[in-house]
Structure 1
């Protein structure tokens, strides 16, 4: 693949920016994949509630909905202001919701990331669960860490005050998790149970995972140093995937320039499946991309607490004449 002309990219960005400010209107519905707009129906949609926010033609207030498969209907996920619609990037007040309509969290975002102010989290029954904030790991580092400043159990009793104390709760996986916070960070032994069955135990020091051990439904154990790791092909970046496509791509079609956005399944065994073209070029190019990716193997699968699982991988491929 040759490098695309910079002037063409700039012109495309100008066209997209103009289209956002003039084409969309209040009440429009836009579908998304990985927060990127697409022309096909997906499980994520956004309803445009206000345009020209703050007299800025590229800032919009939106409500985001996710498909609830059990009811086959879209339910409210969040409300926020976004800088642009082609790629959702929250900036300002952000509120998320449970499927029952109760508030799940609220706080301020900055350019698609959580701001450094206090974020409040709630139980599904509406009671406050915690107050948290992000902070730089050190003066010389741009990396941030999440600090749990205050925590309340499901009965409303506060058990963590000013970052110190003990917490126990049902986590997002439906497991009963418990452990201690020190200065807002996990510290010491944390465990999680499914009923009386232990599912994992992890040791933390100042918020950093030292080691962990998990068990699957068959009782097999897995050790790990990271809670979550993404799938990757040879190297932990998209470069290796793009080089593979470049090397194996064989199209007789000439004179085509543009981007192909694609996502696909990386199985827990390290194979590729379910290749989907989110935004493509010609039929020949789209078909060839699907063929090349489908024949890939040797992936390192995504892992959660040391256990491999099927995951979705997204990729942007750029073609030039």
Structure 2
């Protein structure tokens, strides 16, 4: 039997209340590009049945807005299965719920034949197409999910005609690392976005399903950065500020998992300060509140005894005043690895780790990225002193950025050099020469007391001015 809200003793509600549900909506709801064209806003009202297991079913639309927004509202509403079921006479029962989904108005988007078109002035500031200061037109092909689907082309107005001024090629690149199930993933973005990290970059699987997306501004993540669960629900959302990240995490059923803040430092010199404000378990019980409480995390990792097999890592410990406090432990379900660490106000005091069949390692240092000896200032100084601009490239007025990847070995030497982003042969050779000259000048990365090999990507800029 399906009850109405007024027929039960305690009505069904989202775990964490309407605030948690609205936060989920804000992260997951996407106004379709076709709806952005009109710019209009509206409301879709849906009903569904919350079962005794907290899942939603029999979702229907009772108030339409427009077909594309109706479909999106239904998609997101079906993803949220973190309901506290209704009770009647002390027993959990099925209950019908009704929720409005709001699509806000927006500045109308010009989207014609799969291309987003914007008009810009001489300084590339976006303007209405009727503005007399328009000098450029940008044509950006994207699919209905907003994923780039073709070259980005900039046209310049000359003699009352549009002439191609610049073209930014679309890149569809196979990633070195597959997903957690060993399946290939691909990075999609425009050449300049990948080279200069300035724009939108997406990761998809072999079928084109969106796995993650990030926005960059002049080499830095500008947010939001979003990762998705296999069912399409948002798993993690990073919002970036000047000196910190605010990170929200969800379970696959839509239940919020964690509210976290990372205070950023120079990634080559200092670690982030990890602050946890709140944490919920998968059943919706809030275990960390206002930065204090106990948390337990689960994630899939590669086994230490069989690199071709995955196992479950369980990490647990206490937070106090937003920081790790006391003893934290981590154990692989197959018994191949274990660690125990002791913290005081977020600072690691001591730790020990053990790979099955090996001696226990004792340590007092936090995990650390590889560091060029002397830090970022010394690295910049080294490049300034040793990098030479090939005369042939200067004569041809060629500039840009070469990206070289390499592995920082446990003794500070370098190996496995690869030019992952090329300009042309002479500039590539010079970038590679300088990177190889750095070998032996690096402090290796550390993971739970052990020096580890870490792959590193270094951009080398060749600027004529």
TM range (shorter): 0.5 to 0.7
Q: Deviations over 1:64-86 (max 9, x none)?
A: 2245xxxx555423456x475x7
Partners of 1:23 and 1:112 lie apart in 2 by 34
Which residue pairs with 1:203 in the alignment? 342
Which among 171, 183, 194 is matched to residue 321 of structure 2? 183
What does 1:1-321 align with in structure 2 at a 5 Å threshold?
A: 22-27=138-143, 28-29=148-149, 41-43=173-175, 45-46=187-188, 64-67=202-205, 72=206, 75-78=209-212, 82=215, 87=219, 89-91=221-223, 95-106=226-237, 108-110=239-241, 114-115=245-246, 119-133=247-261, 145-171=273-299, 173=301, 174-195=312-333, 196=335, 198-216=337-355, 219-237=358-376, 239-240=378-379, 243=382, 246-247=385-386, 251=390, 253=392, 255=394, 258-269=399-410, 270-280=413-423, 282-294=424-436, 296-298=438-440, 299-307=442-450, 308-320=452-464
Distance 1:286 1:133, change over 3 A: closer
Q: Deviations over 1:40-84 (max 9, x none)?
A: 735353479xxxxxxxxxx98x572245xxxx555423456x475
User: Structure 1 residue 166: deviation in Å?
Assistant: 1.6
Q: Deviations over 1:125-182 (max 9, x none)?
A: 5433223346799xxxxx9844323322234333223322222221464421111111
SS at match of 2:375: coil
SS at match of 1:228: coil
Larger RCO: 1 or 2 (CA < 8 Å, sep 6+) = 1
Partners of 1:135 and 1:218 lie apart in 2 by 38
User: Structure 1 residue 290: deviation in Å?
Assistant: 2.3
User: Structure 1 residue 192: deviation in Å?
Assistant: 0.5
Partners of 1:136 and 1:88 lie apart in 2 by 12
SS at match of 1:263: strand
SS at match of 1:24: strand
Partners of 1:111 and 1:30 lie apart in 2 by 32
Q: Deviations over 1:232-255 (max 9, x none)?
A: 343322643762685375956363
Which residue pairs with 2:26 in the alignment? none
Preserved CA contact (<8 Å) 1:120 1:132: yes
**TM-score, normalised to structure 2's length?**
0.48
User: Structure 1 residue 273: deviation in Å?
Assistant: 1.6
SS at match of 2:173: coil
SS at match of 1:151: strand
SS at match of 1:230: coil
**TM-score, normalised to structure 1's length?**
0.66
Q: Deviations over 1:185-210 (max 9, x none)?
A: 21001010112455221111112222
Partners of 1:219 and 1:157 lie apart in 2 by 38
Partners of 1:238 and 1:96 lie apart in 2 by 33
How many residues matched? 276
Instruction: List runs of 5+ in structure 2 lacking aligned partners.
Output: 1-121, 127-134, 152-168, 176-185, 191-197, 266-270, 302-311
Preserved CA contact (<8 Å) 1:245 1:292: no
Partners of 2:203 and 2:277 lie apart in 1 by 30
Distance 1:46 1:17, change over 3 A: farther
Q: In angstroms, what is the RMSD of aligned CA positions?
A: 4.3
Preserved CA contact (<8 Å) 1:133 1:146: yes
User: Structure 1 residue 219: deviation in Å?
Assistant: 2.0
Distance 1:87 1:198, change over 3 A: closer
Distance 1:155 1:197, change over 3 A: farther
Preserved CA contact (<8 Å) 1:186 1:207: yes
